Structure 1
Amino acid sequence: MYFYAFLPSCSEDCNVSCKYSWDELQSLCRRQKLVCKQLAVTEDNFNDYVVDYLCNYRKIRTMSLCRVRSFSWNGYSESENTWELHKNIKCPRLLQQFWQDMRLALLRANMPLDSSSLDASAVSFIHERAKQRMKLRRWEEELNRTCQHKGSIFVRNDVDLDSPPKDFTYINNNKIAGGVEFNEAAVGCECTDCIKAPVNGCCPGASDNCTAYNENMQVKIRPGMPIYECNSRCQCGIDCRNRVVQRGMQYDLCIFKTVNGRGWGVCTLERIPKNSFVMEYLGEVITSEEAERRGQMYDQQGVTYLFDLDYVADVFTLDAAHYGNISHFVNHSCDPNLQVYNVFIDNLDERFPRIAFFARRAIRVGEELTFDYKMRSKHVTL
C-alpha cells in the first residue's frame, strides 16, 4: 500500500509506504465520511464495514442473527461485537464457513442441528476456528510474499484447530551452515540452443553426462543419473530449456492438514504432467557429524527432516526442520508420485547435489504429493 503525493519541487509524483492496510484505509475514510474512488468508498457505502469473522448465532422468532467481528472497528474489544441480521451480512464465503463451523460445533456438543442458540462450548469452538482461519490466512500471505517462484501456495485446515507451525522459516535457497564449503562452476556453455544444438554437449557433456530434459523441459533420463543445468557463467538466458530446477516451482500447491494423523501434507491444485519438475527439497546444509547429533535429538521428538546428500559420499546433509520450503510438508509413501533427482547448477561439487522432485506419473488435481523417504539411520536417503 502506498500514499501518493505531488511535491512542488518535484517534476514527478512521489510515493512512500503506508503503514495502514487497505481495509484500515477504507474504514478511516468511512468514519471521516470521505469519498475515495481508489478505495471504492462512496456515500452509498459509508456504513459498510469489512467482516473478519462470525462467532455466534441465535434465532428469535423468524429473525436469524449472527455475531459479527470486524477489525475495522479499531479500539473496540471483542465483547463489543455486534449482532446483525443474517440478511444484512453480504459475505457469502464467510457465511458458508460459519454454517460449516456451527454444524460441526453442534455435533461436537451433541446439540440438535436446528438449535436456535449455541451453548458456551459451541461458541468457543466457532471462535477458535475463526481465529485459526485468520492465522492460516496470514501465514499463507506471508509464504507467498517470501517465495520467489511462479506457483502460489495455499493453506487449509478442515481437520482440527492447529495453527501454522512454529519455529519454521521459509527459504528460497539452501542455507549453508558453518563448516560447509563447496566449489562453484568455473566455466559455462556457449550454446545458442542448449537442447537442439548443444555445443560440446553443453553443460551435461562437459561432465560426461547426457542432456536431462526434452524440448518440453521434462526429465528424460532415468532416476539415479545426475542433472547438469546451465549456470550463471553460461551464455544462454533464463529462458533456456536446460534451466528447469532454477526456475522454481511452477504449479499452485496447497499445504493441508491430513485426516489420518499424518500432520500437514501437500496437494496440487493443478494437473502436473509426467516427468515435470515439481519442487526442490531445501533446508540447512550441515555436516554428517552435525546431522548425527541432531538426529538423536529429533529421534526423541519423534520427527526428522534430515536428507543425506550421499550422491558420491555421505559428507553433507540437508536439515529442513527449521529452514525449508514447501517440501518440508511433503509426506512419505511406499508408492510415491514424486521422484528424486540430483541436480548440479552453479555448484559442481558432487558431494553437494541439489535435490529436485519430478513427477513419476501424471498427477491429478487435488492429489497429495508424496515421495519415498527410504529411511536409513533415521535419515532420508536417495
Structure 2
Amino acid sequence: MAENLKAQVCRVACIATTEQLEVVCRDEGVVCEELGISRNNLCDYEVEYLCDYKRKVITDGKRQTVQELYLVKWKGYPESRNTWEPRRNLRCVNLLSQFWEDLNAEMQRQNKRSAPRRLDPATVTHLTQRAKLRQTLKQWETHLNSLGTHKGYISVRNQVDLEGPPKSFTYINDYKVGDGILLNEVSVGCECTDCLASPVEGCCAGASQHKFAYNELGQVRIRPGLPIYECNKRCRCGPDCSNRVVQRGIRYSLCIFRTDNGRGWGVRTMERIRKNTFVMEYVGEIITTEEAERRGHVYDKEGATYLFDLDYVDDEYTVDAAHYGNISHFVNHSCDPNLQVYNVFIDNLDERLPRIAFFATRGIKAGEELTFDYNMKIDPVDAESTKMDTNFGVMGLPGSPKKRMRVECKCGVATCRKYLF
C-alpha cells in the first residue's frame, strides 16, 4: 500500500493565471519554455494601452528640444507599475494611433485646437476608459467570430460613448425553441440533380405549390409576401444547390457600431451587397404569443423590445431576440429601409414557424447602415399570397397592433413618418 502511494504523482492546480506567472518569471529573471519566455525575450514587455501624455522641454546648453512621453500600462502588470516612456521606446504603432484618435476627439469635444503639454485628470480618466472599452469590445468581437458560422467577419466599433457589449445577451446562430414548442422536421426531400435548371416536380417549392425563389446568382426573384421553400437535409442535391441560400448563413463582413444620434447600436455592411441578396436572419427565442404578451409589458417599461411576430398563417408564435439573438438584434428601424422580410421554410414546414430572412431591397454600398421597417406591411394581390398576414411589424415595437406606447422615429430619412407607428 505504501509503495502504491509513493508511485502516485501528486498534482495541485495553480491558482495564478498565465499572465501572472509571466510577470513573476520576468521579475525574477527566470526562463520558462512552457510560458514562451526565453533569454531573448526575457526583458521584453508588452504595452497593453497608453493612458497619459505630456511634453517635456529638455535644455542642452543653448539648444532646447521637446520630448514626448507616454504613460504606459504594461500587460500583465497592475496600474501601480505604469511607467513614463519616451516615444522612441514604443514600437506599438496601432496603440499610438488609437491613443491620438481618442485624444483628438476629446480635444474637439472640449473645443481645444490641440493637446496641452500636460493633460488634466478628467481627460486622462476618459482616455483610460476608452482604452479599456476598446479591449472589452475586442474580446467580444473575438467571441462573436469564434462561433464560426459567418463567412464574413463581424467587427465591433464604438467611437461615440463608453457603452460596452450588451449585458444579459447571448449570441446564437439558430432559433432557441421555448418550452412546449416542437419543430417538426421534413420527412422527404427533392430528387433533383440540378434544382434550378431541371427541377423534378417543381423541386421543394413546386411540391409546396409555390414558385422557385432564386435566380442563378442566389438573388430572390419572387415578390415580398410570397414564401420561400429551400431544399432541406433530405434532398438529393448538395450544399452548393441554387435553392440553398438562407441556410448558408451570413456571407458578408458586417460591423456592429454605436450610433451617434441616440439609436444605440446599429449594423453596417463592410462590403457592397447586391439588390435582392440574402443578408441575415432574425434569430431569437421562439415563444408563444401569450408569453410574448407578458414579456411585452415588461419591455414596454424598459423602453425597448425585440419581439417579432411569426404570423405567416396564424398569430401563435413570436421570436424574442432580447436576450438570445444574432447580429439582427442590433439592426435599427428606418422608414426607407434597405432590407425586406421574407418567410423561409427549410427543414421545418410548419407554416406557423417560418424562418425570418432579410434580403436587400436595393444595392447597398460598403459602409452603409442596414435597416428594416418595423412597421413593414405587404398587401396581398393574388390568391397565392393571401396566407401572408399583412402585419410584418415587430410585436411591442412601432407598428404592431400590440404596441402600448408611442416612440419617436430617429431614422432621419426624408420620408420619415416621425413616429415608429
2:141/2:154 contact within 8 Å kept = yes
1:31-50 to 2 correspondences below 5 Å:
32=30, 43=40, 46-50=42-46
Amino acid at match of 2:53: Y
Residues 114 and 186 (structure 1), Cα distance of their counterparts in 2 relative to 1, 3 Å cut? closer
Q: Based on CA coordinates, which of the two structures has the bigger radius of gyration? A: 2
Aligned to 1:54: 50
The structural deviation recorded for 1:22 is 10
Aligned to 2:381: none
The structural deviation recorded for 1:236 is 1.2
Task: Indicate the RMSD between aligned Cα atoms, in angstroms.
Answer: 2.6
Residues 175 and 87 (structure 1), Cα distance of their counterparts in 2 relative to 1, 3 Å cut? same
What SS is found at the alignment partner of 2:294?
helix
Distance in 2 separating the partners of 1:343 and 1:203: 12
Distance in 2 separating the partners of 1:292 and 1:236: 41
1:265-280 to 2 correspondences below 5 Å:
265-280=266-281
2:307/2:395 contact within 8 Å kept = no
What SS is found at the alignment partner of 2:47?
coil
324-333 vs 233-242, which deviates more?
233-242
What SS is found at the alignment partner of 2:304?
coil
The structural deviation recorded for 1:58 is 1.2
CA deviations on 1:308-360 (whole Å, 9 max, x unpaired) are 00001101000000000000000000110001000000000001100000111
1:307/1:381 contact within 8 Å kept = no
The structural deviation recorded for 1:106 is 3.7
What SS is found at the alignment partner of 2:341?
strand
Amino acid at match of 1:271: R
Distance in 2 separating the partners of 1:345 and 1:42: 58
Amino acid at match of 2:88: K
Paired residues, what number? 359
- 1:128 is aligned to 2:132: no
- 1:219 is aligned to 2:229: no
Amino acid at match of 1:122: T
The structural deviation recorded for 1:119 is 1.2
Out of 69, 80, 85, which is 2:73 matched to?
Answer: 69
Aligned to 1:7: none
Amino acid at match of 1:105: E
Aligned to 2:257: 256
2:26/2:43 contact within 8 Å kept = no
Distance in 2 separating the partners of 1:363 and 1:317: 29
1:310/1:381 contact within 8 Å kept = no
Amino acid at match of 2:299: Y
Amino acid at match of 2:396: K
Residues 24 and 159 (structure 1), Cα distance of their counterparts in 2 relative to 1, 3 Å cut? farther
368-377 vs 228-237, which deviates more?
368-377
1:179/1:287 contact within 8 Å kept = no
- 1:105 is aligned to 2:106: yes
Amino acid at match of 1:155: V
CA deviations on 1:137-183 (whole Å, 9 max, x unpaired) are 00000111124221211000000011111000000110000121242
Amino acid at match of 2:131: A
Distance in 1 separating the partners of 2:260 and 2:325: 24
The structural deviation recorded for 1:33 is 5.0
Q: What 5-or-longer segments of structure 1 have no aligned partner?
A: 1-18
2:282/2:329 contact within 8 Å kept = yes
1:272/1:363 contact within 8 Å kept = yes
The structural deviation recorded for 1:107 is 4.5
Distance in 2 separating the partners of 1:96 and 1:248: 35
1:92-241 to 2 correspondences below 5 Å:
92-108=93-109, 113-241=114-242
CA deviations on 1:217-265 (whole Å, 9 max, x unpaired) are 1111111110000001111111111111011000000000001110000
- Percent of paired sites with the same residue: 57
Residues 376 and 217 (structure 1), Cα distance of their counterparts in 2 relative to 1, 3 Å cut? closer
Distance in 2 separating the partners of 1:231 and 1:301: 39
- 1:378 is aligned to 2:378: no
What SS is found at the alignment partner of 1:52?
strand
The structural deviation recorded for 1:108 is 4.7
Distance in 2 separating the partners of 1:132 and 1:66: 19
Aligned to 2:389: none
Residues 219 and 184 (structure 1), Cα distance of their counterparts in 2 relative to 1, 3 Å cut? same
